[in-house]
Structures are given as C-alpha cells and as structure tokens.
C-alpha cells in the first residue's frame, strides 16, 4: 500500500515514515511539508520532502495527515480531487472546518480521530462504560498533559473523552464543560465536566479521567511514552481503509468497538 505522509519534517511525520518503512505492507510514495519548512528538499528516511500536494496525492493509495487545520483542509481538497482515502490525526478544527471534512467524506473514505493510539481508544471505551455505571453521583474531571510545543488546549483527545462521557450521561458537553478554574468560582455545578491542560517539557501525552464520588474515586488513565503508538494506530487505520466506501469513520470503527 502506497502512503503519502504530510508534516514529514515534524516529529509525528518522522514517526509515521519510520513506522511505515518498518512494515513490508507499506511504501512511502511521497512525503510533504509546508513551503518554508527546513525539511523541504531534504531526505527523511530516504524520501525527499516536497510541497506539491496534488502531485503527491496522485502517487499514493492513502494520505496520512497530522498537521494543522488549515493545512489539513488543503490536503483534503487534493484527496477529494484525486479520489484518495485519508487518515486525519490533526486536532483543533472549528465547527465549520469539521463540516468541510464531513462534506469531503461523502466522496472519499476518511478516518478522523483525535488519537490513533490503540490504548487511548481502549480508554475511550472504558471511560464510557465507567460513566454509564457511575452516573450522576460522580463528578467528572479530565486532566491532560502535553509537551510545551502543543498549540491547542484542551487536547483533541481530552475533548473526545468529554464528548463520550457527556453522551453516556445524557448531557451536552457545550453546556456543562468547565475549562480550568481560578478565583472565587463558587460551588461546583453538579453536572459539570472539568478540563485541565498541562503543558511542559517533552511530555508525549497523558490523559486521566477522574470520577469523584462520595467516599471513593475512580480514575481511568493512559500515558503515551512514544509517538510510535500514534503512528502504528494510524497505519492500522490506513490498512482498514483500503477498498472502503466513502464515509467519515473513527478509530472505533477500525478497532471494531462500535
């Protein structure tokens, strides 16, 4: 299977290229980065990094994208034009941008996930199960930690956890989400779902859901120690997409968790 990998000059792009080259089922057909990147024109894992999105997309069977929302949408347009499947791990999309991806998925198959690590997706399911069992008697707080260079907060993974838990508890996340606390906040709202973001050093990614009740606390946590977990999950999604009908899928579809 031939892959096009974007963001090739970044840490995630390099991890994807390394993982793909270690798997005999893949060939890295093209590596992309944004114009002006120091990686353009250089070889990453023996693959020359280029900027021509349309030309790169035409050479692959699937396009793997972990970049920024604006870049991802340009890649989506190229994949629609070339009728190529996509794996999208970019986070931080606005509602309008997400709508553009949904429209594109009517024409090509797309797996969109805030986190492709298999362990993280197991935690999505565990958090949903815990929320259904514990119900409204337990307060929910989500704490996430990432490296100092991450530009969006809370992380897409934390927000997805919030969405899953809110749905399990029959709440609307946009109505109950509380992002950090400062000053005289008053008593905690009974159905609030709190988010707290930590940024520092080279933390790859940590997520903890705290269900705090009277007399006991349940925690569901996952700590990613290497970007390889994200890369391997993304490649698993790319394999799953082969021959798949157009549609917007998530990692739960890939793992058979639905």
CA distance 175 to 182: 19
Which is nearest to 79 in space by CA: 116, 43, 112?
112
Q: How many CB atoms lie within 10 A of CB 37?
A: 17
Residues 85-120, buried b or exposed e (16+ Cβ, 10 A)? bbbbbbbbbeeebeebbeebbeebbbbbbbbbbbeb
Q: Tell me how many degrees the CA angle 220-224-225 measures, rounded to the nearest 5.
A: 140
How far is residue 114 CA from its own chain's centroid? 2
Catalytic residue among 2, 11, 125, 150: 150
C-alpha dihedral, 162 to 163 to 165 to 167, nearest 10°: 160
CA distance 173 to 59: 41
Annotated catalytic residue 150: yes
Beta bridge partners of 64: 5, 87
Annotated catalytic residue 146: yes
Beta bridge partners of 141: 194, 210
Q: What residues are annotated to the active site?
A: 146, 150
């Amino acid at each position: 299977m031939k892959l096009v990998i974007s963001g090739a000059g970044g840490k995630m792009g390099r991890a994807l290229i390394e993982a793909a080259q270690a798997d005999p089922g893949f060939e890295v057909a093209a590596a992309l980065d944004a114009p002006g990147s120091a990686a353009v024109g250089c070889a990453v894992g023996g693959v020359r990094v280029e900027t021509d999105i349309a030309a790169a997309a035409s050479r692959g069977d699937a396009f793997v994208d972990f970049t920024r929302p604006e870049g991802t949408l340009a890649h989506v347009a190229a994949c629609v034009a070339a009728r190529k499947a996509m794996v999208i791990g970019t986070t931080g999309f606005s509602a309008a941008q997400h709508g553009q991806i949904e429209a594109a998925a009517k024409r090509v198959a797309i797996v969109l996930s805030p986190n492709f690590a298999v362990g993280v997706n197991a935690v999505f399911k565990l958090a949903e199960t815990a929320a259904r069992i514990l119900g409204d008697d337990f307060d929910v707080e989500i704490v996430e930690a990432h490296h100092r260079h991450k530009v969006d907060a809370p992380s897409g993974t934390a927000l997805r956890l919030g969405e899953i838990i809110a749905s399990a508890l029959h709440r609307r996340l946009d109505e109950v989400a509380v992002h950090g606390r400062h000053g005289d906040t008053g008593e905690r709202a009974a159905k609030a779902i709190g988010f707290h973001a930590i940024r520092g050093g080279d933390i790859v990614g940590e997520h903890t859901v705290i269900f705090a009740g009277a007399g006991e606390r349940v925690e569901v946590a996952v700590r990613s120690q290497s970007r390889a977990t994200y890369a391997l999950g993304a490649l698993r999604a790319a394999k799953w997409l082969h021959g798949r009908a157009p549609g917007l899928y998530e990692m739960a579809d890939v793992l058979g968790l639905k």
